[in-house]
Amino acid sequence: MTNLSFREQGNERFKAGEYKEAEELYSAAIAEHSRSDPKVFANRALTRLKLQDWQGAESDARKAIELYGPKHEAQAMKSHYYLAQALLPQRHVGEALTEAKHAYATCLETKDSSAELIGQFILKAKQAQWQAKETARLRELNSTLALVEDLLNQQLERDKQEVQARFENQEIGETGRQEEIDELEKEAEARRANIRKAFENSASPETVERVVPDWMIDPITFEVMHDPVVTPTGVSYERTSLHRHIKAHGCDPLTRQPLKYDMLIPNVALKNACSEFLDKNGWAVDW
């Protein structure tokens, strides 16, 4: 059986949602002939992301990036994004952000349609980074909260391990496993929010969890805006970051339609809202 047929079969199994079978076929392709083919490693990285094999996906994505080399950044864009997705669940948030921003910058430069999807991931990673800081701050303020959250996390891991065991015993399929894990994580997050609410003290503002609203975030730099402008499509950006983008590319970051400076309109209402929020929440500048 040729290398191409292994890879083609892997692609078919992936499209059918049969990720474990796809992973095995990609592995066969790599073992046979494709140790130097970055595309097969990238395909297996994506498959392992579907299987939530974060370390395996990380290893494959790094290998794909290495094989693509610095001269083929456009082709390596997805591998950088896969690496970011593998790093975030392992709580390597800083590196995940670096990789995702690299992929995002490549998308903007090449006008790739994945820019919006990667932008959403970067915002998620930024939120995770901030939440990690908030978790550390709140747990330092209250040791009882830290204990309760530790117990919650331990229960979540036990529940996820039980789901994984049922999957390995073929009691549930891949779709069922993913749905159950997603539901467990959603329930745990809701419990965590309720626990933190219960530990809040109205007389002590520092006990309240701090959150930066999504509407304040610039879609290019993912930093807090202070001088937003709006494009003809109705999307607001920080003025300086959008000016840099127009100067470099001459187009709208999302639609990739031609865009000029004189087409931008100051978003006064958003600017006032951002200013008011920052006046009351000075910590947000470090987001």
Residue 126 lies in a domain: no
Residue 119 lies in a domain: no
Residue 123 lies in a domain: no
- Indicate whether 21 and 68 sit together in one domain: yes
Last-in-domain residue among 77, 112, 147: 112
Residue 99 lies in a domain: yes
**Segment 238-285, tens digit of pLDDT:** 998 999 999 999 999 988 899 999 999 999 999 999 888 888 777 776
Residue 154 lies in a domain: yes
Distance CA 86, CA 100 (A): 11
Is the pLDDT reported for residue 101 higher than 70? yes
The pLDDT assigned to 202 comes to: 67
CATH, residue 263:
3.30.40.10
- Domain range for 257 is 214-286
- Indicate whether 101 and 12 sit together in one domain: yes
**Segment 153-191, tens digit of pLDDT:** 899 999 999 998 998 898 998 888 889 998 999 999 899
Average pLDDT in the chain: 89
Give the confidence band of 204 by pLDDT, cuts at 50, 70, 90: confident
Residue 125 lies in a domain: no
Residue 268 lies in a domain: yes
pTM beyond 0.85: no
- Indicate whether 11 and 107 sit together in one domain: yes
| Domain count along the chain | 3
Residue 124 lies in a domain: no
CATH, residue 18:
1.25.40.10
Last-in-domain residue among 167, 182, 203: 203
Q: Which residue has the tokens 């996390």?
A: 153
